Chains A and B, each alone.
Chain A
Amino acid sequence: MLVSTLKTELELDVWDCLEAVTDPELDEPITDMGFVETVEVSDARTVRVEFRLPTYWCSPNFAFLMAFGIRKEITSLPWVKEMTVQLNDHCFGDEVNEGVNSGRNYHDIFAQYCKGERLDDVVAKFMSKAFDRRQEVVLLGLQALGHRAEDIVSMPLAALQRIEFTGEEELRQTPRYLDLLLSQGLAVNPDDLAFPTWDGQPIHAAALTKHLTHLRSTRINMEFNGAMCRGLAKTRYKEVEIGPEGPTLVDFIAGRVPPRDGANPGR
């Protein structure tokens, strides 16, 4: 029997590391999106994570990526010896669950269902969109602080790291932008340009406005998904009841979507 304080601590550990798993299409942590329903540590070595997407029809390829993302992050915790990931209520749930818990890699499994195709291109495409979205926030933040186009496009990485943003979005996205610069090798040294394009090219001052237009169009698409997904996640399993006071939203299946318990890191 696991002591409950230890259990809570380990579950917090799991919740923390799940923040590193993002919905590839939204570039938001699955924990922020409320996709993770259950984290359970049973004997200080075994973890079970259940997640649910906003609809039964959410793209299976992204469901695969998230399931494998969860697996990868959890198994990187040194104390975890065994784990199970379960995707609930999804049109491809059985295949995803069988695949992610089989120990095989996702390329093999996905190829089996998709005529040998690979997910690499999709992963790369959505990482570039994530980059655009994060970069837009930082660029607009700098403009709002009064930085001119010439200064922005020539700003070295070290200078960006010293900027003190105050806006909520900038505070959230700047570290995520810096992470991606580093992990993709787009800006590594202090004097590397802080704002290359995804292809690694510098932006010319005169072309900054046009570049921002491109970033915005990426964001419009991602926001559509984000708004849809948040809304649908919220309304799933709720339905309308017409009472004397007019329509109200009530839980359709009571307790079907449990709130996160004490294991929530309380962000």
Chain B
Amino acid sequence: MFKTPEGKEIFVLDGHTHFWDGSPENQANIHGKQFIDCFYAYHTNLSPSEELWEKSKFEKYSEDDVYRDLFVDGPDDMAIIQSTYLNDFYKKGFSSIERSSSMAARHPERFIVNGSFDPRDGEKALEYIHYMKETFDIKGVKMYTAEWNGDSKGWALNDPAAYKCFELCEKLGIKNVHVHKGPTITPLSMDAFDVRDVDYAATDFQNLNWIIEHCGLPRLDEFCWIATQETNVYGGLAVALPFIHSRPRYFGEIMAELLFWLGEDKLLFGSDYAIWTPKWLVEKFWDYQIPEDIAQERGVQLTDEIKEKILGLNAARLYDIDVNKKKVELAGSPVQIAAE
């Protein structure tokens, strides 16, 4: 719960978090080391200095860390934990649904754990989707189109094998598809950040919600164009948000574009924990105003009402969460840290 200076309580649903193990013990090869090193560079590059973590903690943090950083010290009411496997880089997967679900089981009222699959696995991917639905009753999945898989260095959402998987997701009621379209690992393709496949998939699967994490940065213009055409495309603010600290004016330009093209109902807050922690992000976001000249040009501004939607109400709608009921439920189990 985030409390505004006026005392208003704002429901915060963190749309993009992880419970990963990037420790040397879990790294399968140099790629595994370089992947977590790259995440750590994002962390050190864009965090305020007082929010920096030591490398070893960043590589593998505890269940208690998650709970404290998100809900006790942090303002999150709920968090969506995304699964990312990167099986070519990590022995037991980077952040597996089993490990995340076991962590989340301590506070099931606060977590949504999403699954993940790789369409290039063919029939096995379909079986795996059934397994995730039956075992964990997933409501959403995280797609990593840049993931390496043997000789393949990436795939597209509109590949025929992917369509078979999305058909099954639709049938099983797994309706939220989070897609990583942003920096870090890149496929060896013509244009590594191409977002055009979103356009095809969103058109062909109208009943699924397509949440494009990182807003397709650095292809924001193309993403905005696609998202404007499709009613079921959303933008996740993870990675864009930390610029609020390092380059606030630039953050205003990004937000102005997103509000102008996608609108206030299509944007989702995400801290990208543990790359960044939600406390400072939410505090700065609540205090933030788009610089007047940029706001005027696009005719948009981040009002309190819009911020509230972005911080939680929009994601709650996608995940069928009744915010008022949830607030009552959470009030019955207030955050606490077990005695250590």
Contacts and interface: CB of A to CB of B under 8 A. Distances in A.
A105 interface: no
A58 B41 CA distance: 13
A240 B253 contact: no
A225 interface: yes
Contacts of B217: 221, 224
B54 A242 contact: yes
A257 to B, nearest CB: 13
A239 B55 contact: yes
A93 to B, nearest CB: 11
A227 B254 contact: no
B54 A220 contact: no
A190 interface: no
Given A113-B188, A114-B190, A227 B246 contact: yes
B230 interface: no
A125 interface: yes
B247 interface: yes
Contacts of B35: 56-57
B221 A227 contact: no
A114 B188 contact: yes
Interface residues of B, number: 40
A227 B243 contact: yes
Given A114-B189, A221-B219, A216 B253 contact: yes
A227 to B, nearest CB: 6
Contacts of B254: 220, 224
Interface in A213-249: 213, 216-218, 220-225, 227-228, 231-232, 234-236, 238-242, 246-247, 249
Nearest to B215: A224
A18 B205 CA distance: 48
B186 interface: yes
A29 interface: no
B42 A241 contact: no
A199 to B, nearest CB: 17
B186 A224 contact: no
Interface of B: 31, 34-35, 37-38, 40-42, 44-46, 49-50, 52-55, 183-186, 188-192, 217-221, 224, 243, 246-247, 250, 253-254, 257, 297
Interface of A: 25, 54-61, 89, 91-92, 113-114, 117, 119, 121-122, 125, 213, 216-218, 220-225, 227-228, 231-232, 234-236, 238-242, 246-247, 249
